[in-house]
Amino acid sequence: MVMDHQNVVLQANLMLDRPVPEFVARSTMGPLSSEDYRGKWLIMFSHPADFTPVCTSEFIGLQRSINEFNRRDCKLLGLSVDSIYSHVAWVTNIKEKFGVEITFPIIEDISMTIATAYGMLDASSTSTSTVRAVFFIDPQGLLRAKIHYPMQVGRSVAEILRTLTALQIADEQQMAAPEGWQPGEKMVPIAPTTIDEANRVKSRPENIEWYYTDRKTLN
């Protein structure tokens, strides 16, 4: 069942590899719902408030990398508890003042139902502002990764793209991205779950131990 602003089921503790809460909402590009994004990757992210320095830098950074997201068949969707009128005024002002047109939609969530359902609000805070949350949702509507930043720290667009790319390639190759992995580099085998698998991994010349593969030695 599709949930609207008035009856979103609260699921603040979202689990990885589980379906995300459904929603319908007004946005800067008209009405939309979670179903509109099925079949594509979606990065849904919240920001504390319109017309603020860090949020503006993030939106400009994301827009300047929009072609990279499109190349990965991934859509962007912003959200805050500000009104649709504030969103429209803000993106209009960004275009007028900085020459950057924000081409992805921003959800209005005045009632905070979507933000609450996705765990975008800090329960210990006296503010209704959303934290800087990022949700990586796959084409089946499953949550694959989530990152939370405090209000004082802006997100890295490069890291969002790196995580998205890692998820996509790991799925395609049935491999895993080790520490510091960057797009274009080799991935490592997923962790073995049987002794036979561990022995096969250990027999590879690049392996020092069955539980560690130095990606620099991969061909």
* Closest C-alpha among 64, 88, 34, 85 to residue 161: 64
Residue type, 122: D
Residues 6+ apart with CB under 8 A from 140: 38
Residue type, 56: T
**Distance in angstroms (rounded) separating the CA atoms of residues 199 and 192:** 9
Catalytic entry in 55, 120, 143, 167: 55
- Catalytic, 74? Answer no
> In the structure encoding, which two tokens stand for residue 108, read together?
């209005």
Assess contact for 135 and 43: CB atoms under 8 A.
yes
Distance of CA 94 to the CA centre of its chain: 23
Catalytic site positions? 55
